[in-house]
Amino acid sequence: MDHFFKLRENRTTVGREIVAGITTFVTMSYIILVNPDILSITGMHWGAVYLATIIASVVGTLIMGLFANVPYAQAPGMGLNAFFTFTVVMALDFTWQQALSMVFICGVINILITVTNVRKAIIRSIPLVLQHAISGGIGTFIAYIGLKNAGLFSFTSDPGTYLMLGDTPETATIVAGSGTIPALVDLNTAPVLLSLIAIVLTIILLVLKVKGAILIGIIAATIIGIPMGVTSIGSASVDLAESFRELGKNFGVIFRSEGIPSLFADSSKLLTVLITVFSFSVTDTFDTIGTFIGTGRRTGIFTDEDMNAMQDRPGLASKMDRALIADSVATSIGALFGTSNTTTYVESAAGISAGGRTGLTSVVVSALFLLSIPLLPIASLVPAQATSAALIIVGVMMAASFKEIDWEDLVEAIPAFFTAILMGFFYSISTGIAFGFITYCLVYLVRRATAAGRRELEQKQQSLHPILVVSTLIFVLNFILQAFF
């Protein structure tokens, strides 16, 4: 074991790696409950998503540990699952089978571009400010979903500003215009009060630096919800055997008629499909790269040599390249079983801070994920109010990326603002990315038009990469097509 994981070389021990693995699992295991809550909105079976979440996490984390020998854990990504549900399925009107197909394609593409210089070129093409804005913007989007799931919003529409699609008010979908105003609901119902309790409790645990604070908050809120009548223990929980049957039905659905074949059957949606896959890939890439850079450089897991090899050499020349391959393979395997993009979790930092330095930490995390399978019937009783706090807190953590943005420089501030804010306001990650790209190019070109602006841009080494320009033009073309077709 010492020889395989190079424990002594990395100045660690078996015991330390086990403790680190347990720490990482406890910190990130909330995803087992939250991911099915989000993806089941699309019509997917809750228990099947629960199992697919575990399988994708186990496979991805094992590859990370055994192939890359780094202490990172993987699971379906927060933000990416929201993009899957609320943008791809609900806003763009794709089926969940088609959305899974796009996730699978994203994984395959990421594998191919990782072993070449393409993915590295994409990483270099997008300015750091937009990378930070995308990460922070996803945080605001996730927090918004959490507040919405908590039931804290009420919406009032002015007369004549909404359209009812359906035969009866009970079954109709309401499409409201800009006359709709959000407000805080009255805090007088049990579900809303339980949401507030969950939020307050989770904040207290986090501030006190309790290990596994988010998971403990979910469990505690679920228990508190029993006497409040929100957690219904008398209702039938999701059956494990039934969930495995549903998982079997979902397995490989992307290769059936309702999957990839249907995705390319409608030529009018082809551009939207390409943009969606691009958005999946960009978001997944920067989630993972951000986690690696933010934790690996500081602890020595990734050296300067690794970073230089990742930037300049094709193939799998560095540990970071191998870790990126693990991330891409896990995404495709997760889609095969029925879940959204699998990505490297920033919560891995908890295990790293506990002393994890090698892939043995990841192997321990994988084993703990497997042991969670029999808990499905209990896990399915957790109400949405209990998991909403987790979404809000994850949003808070992701918003830390905003500190890397120079808000006094309008070339950075304007595109960062549009990227982050419009993700939440338009309920779409890809729309936020599109406006970020467009406004960055606009502000850059305006600044470039003056001599003083050119000197300032050169001093700050700000530029427009051809890949960024092409991506921006594709986003603009997509908006034009949506307006007329």
Give tens-digit pLDDT for 61-75: 999 999 989 999 999
Is the C-alpha dihedral spanning 348, 354, 360, 361 positive or negative? negative
- Its pTM stands at 0.73
Mean of per-residue pLDDT scores for the chain: 84
- Among the listed ranges 16-30, 252-266, 286-300, 341-355, which one has the minimum average pLDDT value? 286-300
Please enumerate in sequence order all residues whose Cβ is within 8 A of that of 88, keeping only pairs 6 or more positions apart, or say none.
Answer: 94, 99, 102, 276
Q: Which residues, listed in sequence order, are joined to residue 261 by a DSSP beta bridge? A: none
Which range of 173-187, 189-203, 208-222 scores highest in mean pLDDT? It is: 189-203
Identify which of 370, 338, 380 has the alpha carbon closest to the alpha carbon of residue 248: 338
Tens-place pLDDT, residues 104-152: 999 998 888 777 767 667 767 778 888 888 878 878 877 887 888 888 9
Mean pLDDT computed over 421-434:
81
What per-residue confidence (pLDDT) applies to 63? 94
Closest CA to 440 of 221, 127, 177, 159: 127
Percent of the chain with pLDDT over 90: 34
Residue 170 has pLDDT above 60, yes or no: no
Where does the pLDDT of residue 234 fall: very low under 50, low under 70, confident under 90, or very high at 90 and above? low
Distances in whole angstroms, Cα of residue 77 to Cα of each of 142, 281, 297, 484: 11, 12, 22, 34
Phi, psi of 252 (to 5 degrees): 75, 10
Burial of residue 465 (number of CB atoms within 10 Å: 0-12, 13-18, 19+): middle
Closest to 360 (Cα-Cα) out of 98, 94, 61? 61
Question: What values do phi and psi take at 202, rounded to 5?
Answer: -65, -40
Per-position b or e across 83-103, b if 16+ CB within 10 A of its CB: bbbbbbbeebebbbbbbbbbb
pLDDT at 290 over 80: no
pLDDT for residue 169:
61
- Please tell me the distance from the alpha carbon of residue 405 to that of residue 18, in angstroms, as a whole number: 37
User: Which amino acid is present at 122?
Assistant: I
Distance CA 38, CA 221 (A): 18
- Of 71-85, 94-108, 233-247, 295-309, give the lowest mean pLDDT range: 295-309
The pairing of strands 181-184 and 342-344 is: unpaired
- Tell me the C-alpha distance between 364 and 14, whole Å: 10
Give bridge partners of residue 342 from the DSSP assignment: 76
Stronger pLDDT, 374 or 427, i.e. the higher one: 374
CB-based contact 150:192 (threshold 8 Å) = yes
The arithmetic mean of pLDDT across residues 40-45, rounded, is: 94
pLDDT band at 315 (very low <50, low <70, confident <90, very high): low
Mean pLDDT of 369-381: 87
Residues 166, 451: Cα–Cα separation, whole Å: 58
Q: Is 350 helix (H, G, I), strand (E, B) or coil?
A: helix
pLDDT of 167 over the 60 cut: no
Mean pLDDT score, 448-473: 84
* Residue % of the chain over a pLDDT of 70: 88
Confidence band, pLDDT 50/70/90 cuts, at residue 84: very high
Q: Which helix (H) or strand (E) holds 175?
A: strand 173-176
Query: Which pLDDT does position 377 carry in this prediction?
Result: 84
pLDDT at residue number 336: 96
Give me the residues paired with residue 181 across strands.
Answer: 156
Lowest mean pLDDT among 94-98, 261-265, 268-272, 331-335: 268-272
pLDDT given for residue 57 in this prediction: 96
Nearest C-alpha neighbor of 323 from the set 362, 279, 277: 362
